[in-house]
Structure 1
């Protein structure tokens, strides 16, 4: 067999394959259809429940059974995605109109997950059964083969309300994302009716009926003026904040009670919101919050924030709006599959697609019903006619050899082989011309149908059938009549399932926080040997001075609004705001200085702290830097006046590290001591001033294998002794030598 090798560009194959994959994800997984507002996994799950007859008025069925059946027949993907879809469709805090009635633990608004599918049970919600699946048996939608072509599934469900708007949708596809907010069912139905009465309705006119989203969690939409553009283009950002009340409590104090949260906060974000409030307290953004408690019960939200006496409750509430997710943004991108392709739609086009779909459903429904009634009419006419000549029919049946012979006589008047009582009966039989269906109905008819009342009922049914045929013909023959039927149906749905609006739509001014000026005081920052830091005021320090000097590795005196600069052996400087450190009593434990400020790279478990002082003091002085390899330099302190939390304070050679950082004044002398007890005293003014990025110059000539261990800075007239091999060396009496010499042995 001849083979042909087809050569093509690899890039073309990749492009085509990726586009095919992308469209598959968009159409078959992540993006809802504009007609029924459902993703495939939701549609297949609901249809499977319909097939399993898990009706709203019947016992619940195990979720695992529903998930397994859906996966085996229609959705050949992971069971977790099917169960998640089932769970979400049952959660009234996520969906305005839950489509599944869940029994068991189906999760909570605070982010608790649902129990495993083997424990929970479910059935269709009444609205899903009646409004979403009610007409499936009337040939209103096309059925397509499932993934292995062993079953049939509906292309879309015959949903009679715009589910895309009512329940919204969210999903991420390849290069596309959909995020549609939820709306009030009653308002959306009114909007559909308004569009059917006026197809030229504008977005502004539609928004007088549907003013904006209606989230199941309530809340307040704060940018009403932006909604017109959002609903015209289908893209934008909705700002939504929680609903809070300020209550007075005993002791003259107040508390903020949050009763509704922004929709994006549901789930784990409630816990994050509480943590964010704690962070505001820990980082000293506010000192007015005394306590936080989550007193929510079930879906009844109640988060209580107790304030200190004299606190400005409104200002604290504004701070929560600014700094936490109590005010959040819902990104809108109304992307849906319309006419077989993904499209971003405004609110009026979405309703237009829905209305077109309703006309299609209605046409197919009443065409189907008309066909059924016409079949019924044919049989009823045959039975009524048969009742009029029932004696003849009985004579035919008694005289026939088999059913085939009797049926031939009823349909075509063939009397050959049939025994009649008289020639008149035979002549009358030859005049019979029933249809095939009528003849079969006559043959299947039971004798009790010959009772007078039964015959009257048959004539009554026939009259009713004729009325229905006339009505269905009228509906199918006039779009206006069909519109009346659709509107009547919508009004009935609205009456039974509509609820009051939960979300308030308004224009709200941006929250403004008035920051109270901080009282500037002198403080002492105490850093112990475990790198825990705490701040005390100066009167507290003076009362505990002796204990503070014994217990603290470093003590920095500064203002409470200043920064402290920490220099480490690795040549880094870390700037920490004093306000980030805990302020309190002398015996308070403090906090690890590594965690004091977010974004700081300090880790005193891996590097030693060499020097610490206030930035205010450092920037108006000069610093001397010294390293193990005897590199020294002076640096102007103003170079460390930076906004970054961590910078390189000096340049280090390989395997070198900083051993000294100190403030040096004019006239000071510097004494360098090596590991082999070599000492060199030099004038501080002979050390060159360098930039912080420089390595410096050599301070002393070291013998091979020797290194600097200490550098001492002596002010004029200062005396200082160090012990070397059990003898005291007076540093201030050492001869002043030249930099970069060997020094003297002690």
Structure 2
């Protein structure tokens, strides 16, 4: 029997749109963003819960990270093992987290960007604070459990976290079309903020910031824009400027050194190495001459980067230069985005705490509802046992006269005496009056004889009194919000007392740094460019002493001031600017710098036609010639521009520059085509145009002919080229008219 085919026709764009939205929401809600209630992303939540389930508590031995990762991946997180291990590693790093949740054993990476060892080598277990503040009460039905990815296990929808983890540890995550970036805060301050909110739910951002001063980064540092924090915490969006902490230390010989003891939070990892390179760059580019040496002496004890200064150096000014030119002062972008009520939302600090407090009330309600139900069950059983002690002789008589457990239980619960042998009718009538509950009857039947000892009966009475007190206490907590708030605040104060630490980050308003740059002494120099497009600079006395060697080794020598810029013209019609100060200055035999490194010039894709001083070009005229024989003269002043790269001329799609030359009086140019046609014309016949113009035709070329070369001849120049083995002396060619065919050679 053929299966009936069912075709569904849909617009392709609709399918793509729905699929992409489904994917985006999956990434946003189930992977990349933290939940405002517990401040955890799914991978972090699942890893902590798995460690809890495996019994890897703070007071138990460490277990292999590979075991934790494998178990988490197999049960709860069906993604790559690297994402789970990375999350585990980050939760253990005290330089990334204000409150590490996992205790690592082995190499878990360093503040300088060293990665953790492979998970087969490292071990981990939960911290005490994680066990007490993040995973406690899971057995009291405080959160909902949902099926895992293959519905073989149950996992908590959210962890019953008792402190605002979203603020304490911060969060980072990139979703689809959105990202979160929340800085870490001080544990004690955040707890104080929560208590303040519980006492006054109408508290505003300004009042909240009396408790939570600002971010507290694990790396310390100084927040320098205190006045901007109010707007950031009100809206949940903004930029925090953070500086490293620098101390000035005097050493022998009257010298000083800068000691960097704290770095901006954004500098951890590979950015420490980048900072060191940036400092080297300041020295190489002569932005400062005060630094003698720099060394990174950081260790497990903390950050220590030492910058040795020369005698008489201005340490304060150099410190400002580091803030201005390196990542020693950096910006932390804040975007307090988290999943609230199932959807992503950007929140200020008060709404985040409001969500947390509402969650705490929900947790407490479910916890004490569960505890109250258990206490009421205990009360029922205890009352049954107390009552049983008063009629214990009758109960023993019932048990001895019953044929089985079922008969005895029926008598205790419903007073059914049929089939039971009693010693007297009085006992039988008393037995018929018994009405224990099911639970009480079960407890009586399971009771051991030693419970009838006087002291045990007294202990039972004491337990009953304690149970009644608990019932009264739990009922009061559930019925009065003030009582519940008191319990939550008491627990928070206990957490603060045990886990709070001193603030590490200083919050202040600091003026924008001002760097007093020493004026550069202007001197005449010679810029030498060799055939490999390497450039170097020497002063004129050095050049004069080595003139012959310089002229022999250099493709081009430009005489200018050290403060000048060089214009480099290429066959692609581009002009690249090079600052002479960016080229190495020093001894004649010092190594040069590739022009590619100090400009946008790319020697692998472009050919350099002319390099000249921009200052020298201002009073000059430049002649341009292309493969398609387009000529023009441009005023050199047009090339005194600020952009590092600009179009020197306009070119047709398949055209290219063959010549850029500086004109002198009574010059001529010779055009040589691929079909061996030559035309010499006076440069006075070439009109002056703007640099954005294409120009005019120089030689009338035959079909499929292009210019092979163009030569600029100054007065007195003698130039010879070979054509089919014959010498053609260019300065002897007849000067013709522009836009003619030329002569065959």
Shift of 1:383: 2.0
Shift of 1:662: 3.5
Single out whichever of 427-436 and 47-56 deviates more from structure 2.
427-436
What residue number does 1:694 align with?
694
Deviations 1:72-120 (A, max 9, x none): 2222222222222222211111111111112222222222222222222
Q: Say whether 1:520 aligns with 2:522.
A: yes
Distance 1:25 1:705, change over 3 A: closer
- The secondary structure found in structure 1 opposite 2:210 is helix
CA distance in 1, matches of 2:480, 2:270: 53
CA distance in 2, matches of 1:204, 1:529: 66
Q: Say whether 1:496 aligns with 2:498.
A: yes
Shift of 1:655: 7.5
- The secondary structure found in structure 2 opposite 1:148 is coil
For the 8 Å contact 1:212–1:227, the answer to whether it is kept is: yes
What residue number does 2:442 align with?
440
CA distance in 2, matches of 1:467, 1:171: 47
CA distance in 2, matches of 1:676, 1:59: 87
What residue number does 1:178 align with?
180
What residue number does 2:387 align with?
385
What residue number does 1:596 align with?
598
For the 8 Å contact 1:264–1:330, the answer to whether it is kept is: yes
CA distance in 1, matches of 2:607, 2:345: 60
CA distance in 2, matches of 1:509, 1:631: 57
What residue number does 1:233 align with?
235
CA distance in 2, matches of 1:173, 1:674: 60
Shift of 1:497: 0.6
Shift of 1:16: 4.6
CA distance in 1, matches of 2:355, 2:575: 63
Distance 1:251 1:383, change over 3 A: same
For the 8 Å contact 2:685–2:738, the answer to whether it is kept is: yes
For the 8 Å contact 1:166–1:184, the answer to whether it is kept is: yes
- The secondary structure found in structure 1 opposite 2:92 is coil
CA distance in 2, matches of 1:455, 1:503: 60
- The secondary structure found in structure 2 opposite 1:208 is coil
For the 8 Å contact 1:682–1:738, the answer to whether it is kept is: yes
CA distance in 1, matches of 2:605, 2:354: 66
For the 8 Å contact 1:108–1:299, the answer to whether it is kept is: no
For the 8 Å contact 2:721–2:730, the answer to whether it is kept is: no
For the 8 Å contact 2:168–2:184, the answer to whether it is kept is: yes
Deviations 1:487-540 (A, max 9, x none): 111110101111011111111111112222110000000111222111001111
Distance 1:628 1:83, change over 3 A: closer
Deviations 1:374-412 (A, max 9, x none): 211222222222233333322222222111122222222
Shift of 1:344: 2.0
Distance 1:365 1:704, change over 3 A: closer
What residue number does 1:397 align with?
399
What residue number does 1:639 align with?
638
CA distance in 2, matches of 1:16, 1:674: 62
Single out whichever of 661-670 and 359-368 deviates more from structure 2.
661-670
1:195-274 matches, within 5 Å, as: 195-274=197-276
For the 8 Å contact 1:222–1:508, the answer to whether it is kept is: yes
- The secondary structure found in structure 1 opposite 2:637 is helix
Single out whichever of 563-572 and 573-582 deviates more from structure 2.
563-572
What residue number does 1:619 align with?
618
CA distance in 2, matches of 1:608, 1:6: 60
Shift of 1:548: 1.0
- The secondary structure found in structure 2 opposite 1:256 is strand
Q: Say whether 1:153 aligns with 2:152.
A: no
What residue number does 1:714 align with?
714
CA distance in 2, matches of 1:151, 1:91: 30
For the 8 Å contact 1:664–1:713, the answer to whether it is kept is: no
Deviations 1:590-627 (A, max 9, x none): 11122123xx1341x55544433211112211234456
What is the root-mean-square deviation of aligned Cα atoms in Å?
3.1
Deviations 1:525-570 (A, max 9, x none): 0111222111001111111111111111111110000012233445
What residue number does 1:59 align with?
61
Q: Say whether 1:137 aligns with 2:139.
A: yes
Query: How many matched pairs?
Result: 741
1:284-433 matches, within 5 Å, as: 284-298=286-300, 300-433=302-435
Distance 1:609 1:189, change over 3 A: closer
What residue number does 1:562 align with?
564
CA distance in 1, matches of 2:644, 2:448: 96
What residue number does 1:578 align with?
580
For the 8 Å contact 2:245–2:260, the answer to whether it is kept is: yes
Shift of 1:712: 5.0
Distance 1:656 1:20, change over 3 A: closer
Distance 1:739 1:120, change over 3 A: same
For the 8 Å contact 1:102–1:121, the answer to whether it is kept is: yes
For the 8 Å contact 1:672–1:700, the answer to whether it is kept is: no
Distance 1:494 1:546, change over 3 A: same
Distance 1:430 1:320, change over 3 A: same
- The secondary structure found in structure 2 opposite 1:685 is helix
Distance 1:739 1:179, change over 3 A: closer
- The secondary structure found in structure 2 opposite 1:209 is coil
For the 8 Å contact 1:677–1:724, the answer to whether it is kept is: no
Single out whichever of 83-92 and 452-461 deviates more from structure 2.
452-461
What residue number does 1:83 align with?
85
Single out whichever of 265-274 and 213-222 deviates more from structure 2.
265-274
CA distance in 2, matches of 1:655, 1:225: 58
TM-score when normalising by structure 1: 0.91
CA distance in 2, matches of 1:745, 1:20: 73
Distance 1:200 1:619, change over 3 A: same
Shift of 1:17: 4.5
Single out whichever of 345-354 and 20-29 deviates more from structure 2.
20-29
CA distance in 1, matches of 2:560, 2:293: 31
Deviations 1:36-67 (A, max 9, x none): 11222222221111111111111122222222
CA distance in 2, matches of 1:304, 1:366: 57
CA distance in 1, matches of 2:175, 2:676: 71
Distance 1:4 1:698, change over 3 A: closer
Distance 1:109 1:299, change over 3 A: farther
CA distance in 2, matches of 1:589, 1:117: 47
CA distance in 2, matches of 1:210, 1:610: 63
CA distance in 2, matches of 1:94, 1:299: 16
TM-score when normalising by structure 2: 0.91
For the 8 Å contact 2:626–2:655, the answer to whether it is kept is: yes
Shift of 1:308: 3.3
Gaps of at least 5 residues in structure 1 are none
- The secondary structure found in structure 2 opposite 1:108 is coil
